[in-house]
Structure formats: C-alpha cells, structure tokens
C-alpha cells in the first residue's frame, strides 16, 4: 500500500483502481440516475433533448439572475442519493429534485482542494494554484466576464465565501480583466469576528475556518472594513447582526443569513455561495459529516425558498447547486473513505449538479458527462456574456 500514504493538503498518491477512471465515473453517474429515478419517478433527459426550455421560457436576458451554490465540501452518494443516504437529504429529494434538471455525471479533472477547485469552477479552467495560498486565480473569473461584457457595477456580483483562503476568489489579475471587474467578496466569519470584538457572546462555533487541515486553526481578522460592509451594504446594525448570529449553529447557516441579506439589500444578478460545513468530515467523525449533510440539505431548500419569495429574484433566477468535487470511496485503499478527497479516484472526482428555476426544465435527469469547468461558459450563455478564456464546453441541456 505504498502509494496510499502520501498526503499534503489534499494531494495523495493512490494505490490502485479496479475500473478505469472513465468507466467508474460513468457507472457512478448511471447509478445516481437510477437512484433518483426510483426515488422520485422523474424522467431521463435524453428523450427530451433538442427542445430547449429557453425557446418557450422567453426569459429576459437583461433581468436574468443566477445563484451558484457549491455544496459544502463534497458528499458521497451513499450518504446522499443512494437509497440508504436519501434520509439525509429529504429537502433535495422531495422538494428540489422534482423541480430541477439534474445532471448525474459531473467530473472534476483538476486538483481536489477546495479553494483551487472553487477557483476552477469560477474560471472555467482547471487552476493549479496552491490550495492553501491566498492568491487570486490565474484566469479571469466568471464575475469579471459578467461585469466587463455587460458593464455591470461591482454591486451586481457577489461571493459569499467560507474561509480565509477565499478572499481572492472574486477576481484574477489577468490583463484586461482583474480586480476592477471582480466580484465583491464577503467573508461572513470576518464580519462576525469584527462585529463581536469585545463582546461577551461566544461565537466560536460559527468561526470554523478550513476543515481541509483541521489541525490548523488560523486567527480570523475583522475590522473597520467589515463593519462598514455590515452597516452600509447589508443594512445591519452590529447589535442586530450579533443577536441573529447567536441563534445560528454553523458557519454555513451564517453564510446563508448573509446571502439572504445581500439578496434583499443589493439584489446582485450573479451570486456565488460556497458552503463548507460538510468538510468537517476531515476530522474523521462520521456523525458530524452526516449532520452537516442534513444541514446543507435544509439550507439549500431555504435558499430556494428565499429566491422564490424575493421580488427581485422570483421567476427570473436560475439556481445551480453542485459540489466542487466528491470524496474518496470506501473501496480505494489509498484513502480512508468519507474522510478525505485525496486519492483522485472516480468517487472523489465525479459529482452532480442540480439546476432549478428560470429556463430550466423541471423533473429531468441528464446522464451526459459534464465537467465542472463547463459551468462558467454555460452561465455566460444564459446571461449574455462570453467566458472567452474558459476551457469548458456549453451545457446544451441548459441552453
């Protein structure tokens, strides 16, 4: 088992794989489809291809809004879509999937660390930056394409990010793009850290940072800039914010709270929310991982509910929910099952995507293989901008 032991961050050399990676990924996608078809009775999408919902929806590109949620650090089928896992995602199974186009076979062929994978999702290019460095992506982000091509103000693109390392996710330093066209990034934990400085309430349970390295607990910083964001952008007093935060139980609940305030006060057309609670799996406690999946399931449903209730979003918003990647399978001896995403095996690379709302056909399952880098150009096509440097392909089922 020599090659199963090396790890640094989330990189690990594998020991073996019994199927070819491509075959195993395909099998995962098909199995996922069968699980969902059995449980929800929704249709396979191939027979419906060629009839774009946009032809009939006649969505107004100018008013189109898109919300992207990365699903919490990766969760495996056996804890979610497989029959034994469906108990953990009741909201997705009963409320969201019947309203969605569900893509069963999304692969991430890049580096499986959360920051670098999220950066890859946001640029449409497999980024190779150091997962643990606070550096911007090497290629233009979706926010830069969106704002530059459509001449949108900074207030129209926002990222709600989970941890310290994500504070540069909003924009690259690419010539012709760069921070001037980037999204505004809000780090809820920094907001809370600033707002609660000197207070008596203990918010440590909401300030977990990077689960990928649970041994490393960096100090969070928060100061005048965060307080200014709180009061001017979110229209929240420090007292109201801290009072509400005291009712929450996890960092992702805090992120959703901030995202809702952003939607209400700023109504960004492009909103990107990175959930992270599920990554507590790195601590090795299976029960905490399951708790986090159940919480994330609930939060996704609450977000969808918010989208339908907010006047600026109702009826003209597409919600995309997808993990940045999966987690290691139990079968790969190089890993330790659910705990990490280090082997690069098909289970850790193969995920899913759920699309809901404007322009999306409801109750359809698509098996055709996608890559996570396909998301950016496809959103570009939805919203009317060109993700020129993206290396992904258009997801024709969404167009």
Partner 1 sequence: MLPNAITPASFTAYPPLAHKVAVDHLVLLQRLPIAFLPSLLRELIEYDYSFPAERLSIDSELAYLKSLTPSQLDNLFRSFAQLGLPTSLTASDWVNHPAQFVEQESAHLWSTRQLDAFRLAATQYGQTLSAATPAAPLPLPRLGIAVIGQGATTAAEPLFLNLRQHGTFFTKIDPENGLEFILSAVASRAAAHAAPYAHWYIDGGQPARSTASLTSVAYQELEPLRSRLLRFMDAQIAHPGMGPEELRTRLALLSPSDLGIHKPADPVLERFQLRLFTEGSGTQIFATTFAQWATREALRRAQPLTLLVRYAPRQRQRPMNELLSATDAHVELDPAGSLVDADMGAWYHWLNQQRLPGADRSAFVVWFEAQRQALVVAPSLPRGVESDSAINLKTLLALATDG
Which residues sit at the interface with partner 1, rule CB under 8 A? 1-3, 5-9, 11-17, 21, 84, 109-112, 126, 128, 132-133, 204-205, 207-210, 212-218, 280, 282-288, 290-291, 330-331, 333, 336-340, 344-345
Long-range pairs for 225-233: beta carbons < 8 A, 24 or more residues apart: 226/187, 226/190, 226/191, 226/193, 226/194, 226/195, 227/194, 227/195, 229/186, 229/191, 230/191, 230/194, 230/195, 233/186, 233/262, 233/265, 233/266
Residue (21 or 150) nearer to partner 1, CB:
21
Q: d(Cα 277, Cα 300) in Å, to the nearest integer?
A: 13
Least spacing, CB of residue 13 vs partner 1, in Å: 5
| Beta carbon of residue 80, minimum distance to partner 1 (angstroms, whole number) | 15
User: In terms of CB distance, is 82 or 154 closer to partner 1?
Assistant: 82
From the CB of 214, what's the least distance to partner 1, in Å?
6
Instruction: Considering the complex, state which of residue 164 and residue 269 has its C-beta at the smaller distance from partner 1.
Output: 164
The secondary element (H helix, E strand) that includes residue 241 is helix 238-245
Integer Cα distance of 126 and 134 in angstroms: 17
Question: Looking only at Cα atoms, what is the longest distance across the chain?
Answer: 60
Residues contacting residue 299 through CB under 8 Å, at least 6 positions apart: 252, 253, 256, 275
DSSP letter for each residue of 339-357: G---S--HHHHEEEEEEEE
Q: Which helix (H) or strand (E) holds 370?
A: strand 370-371
Residue 68, beta-bridge partner list: 272, 320
Minimum CB separation from partner 1 for residue 18, in Å?
Answer: 8
Whether residue 194 contacts residue 226, with contact meaning beta carbons closer than 8 Å, is answered with: yes
Taking the least distance from each CB to partner 1, the nearer of 296 and 318 is: 296
Q: Smallest distance, Å, CB 295 to partner 1?
A: 13
Query: Of 105 and 340, which has the nearer Cβ to partner 1?
Result: 340
Q: Shortest approach of partner 1 to residue 84 CB, angstroms?
A: 6
Which sign does the torsion angle of CA 169, 175, 176, 179 carry? positive
If the CB atoms of residues 163 and 318 are measured against partner 1, the closer one turns out to be 163
- Which strand (E) or helix (H) includes residue 12? strand 11-12
Q: Which is nearer to partner 1, 272 or 289 (CB)?
A: 289
- Least distance from partner 1 to the Cβ atom of residue 161, Å: 17
Q: Which is nearer to partner 1, 105 or 260 (CB)?
A: 105
Range list of β-strands (E), 49-202? 65-70, 100-107, 157-160, 184-186
Nearest CA to 333 among 13, 76, 25, 112?
Answer: 13
Contact of 268 with 166, CB cutoff 8 Å: no
**Least distance in angstroms from the C-beta of 280 to partner 1:** 8
Nearer Cβ to partner 1 (181/338): 338
Q: How far is the CB of 248 from partner 1 (least distance, A)?
A: 14
> In whole angstroms, what is the distance from residue 325 CA to residue 72 CA?
10
């Amino acid at each position: 088992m020599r090659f199963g032991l090396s790890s640094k961050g989330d990189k690990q050399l594998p020991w073996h794989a019994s199927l070819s990676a491509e075959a195993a990924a395909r099998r995962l996608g098909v199995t996922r489809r069968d699980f969902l078809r059995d449980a929800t009775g929704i249709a396979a999408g191939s027979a419906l291809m060629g009839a774009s919902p946009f032809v009939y929806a006649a969505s107004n590109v100018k008013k189109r809004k898109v919300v992207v949620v990365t699903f919490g650090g990766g969760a495996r089928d056996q804890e979610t879509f497989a029959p034994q896992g469906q108990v953990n995602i009741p909201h997705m199974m009963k409320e969201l999937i019947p309203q969605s186009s569900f893509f069963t076979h999304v692969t991430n062929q890049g580096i499986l660390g959360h920051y670098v994978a999220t950066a890859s999702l946001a640029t449409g290019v497999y980024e190779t930056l150091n997962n643990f460095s606070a550096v911007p992506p090497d290629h233009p982000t979706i926010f830069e394409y969106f704002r530059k091509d459509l001449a949108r103000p900074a207030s129209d693109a926002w990222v709600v990010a989970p941890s310290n390392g994500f504070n540069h996710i909003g924009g690259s330093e690419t010539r012709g793009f760069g921070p001037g066209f980037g999204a505004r990034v809000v780090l809820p934990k920094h907001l809370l850290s600033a707002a609660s400085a000197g207070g008596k309430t203990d918010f440590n349970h909401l300030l977990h940072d990077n689960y990928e390295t649970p041994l490393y607990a960096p100090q969070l910083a928060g100061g005048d800039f965060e307080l200014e964001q709180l009061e001017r952008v979110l229209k929240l007093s420090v007292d109201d914010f801290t009072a509400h935060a005291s009712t929450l139980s996890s960092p992702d609940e805090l992120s959703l709270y901030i995202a809702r305030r952003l939607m209400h006060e700023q109504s960004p057309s492009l909103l990107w929310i990175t959930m992270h609670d599920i990554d507590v799996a790195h601590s090795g406690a299976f029960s905490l991982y399951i708790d986090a999946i159940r919480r994330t399931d609930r939060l996704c449903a609450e977000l969808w509910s918010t989208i339908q209730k907010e006047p600026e979003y109702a009826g003209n918003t597409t919600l995309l929910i997808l993990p940045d990647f999966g987690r290691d399978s139990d079968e790969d001896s190089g890993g330790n099952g659910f705990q990490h995403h280090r082997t690069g095996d098909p289970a850790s690379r193969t995920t899913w995507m759920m699309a809901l709302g404007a322009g999306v056909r409801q109750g359809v399952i698509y098996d055709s293989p996608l890559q996570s880098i396909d998301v950016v150009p496809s959103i570009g096509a939805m919203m009317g901008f060109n993700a020129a440097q993206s290396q992904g392909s258009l997801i024709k089922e969404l167009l």
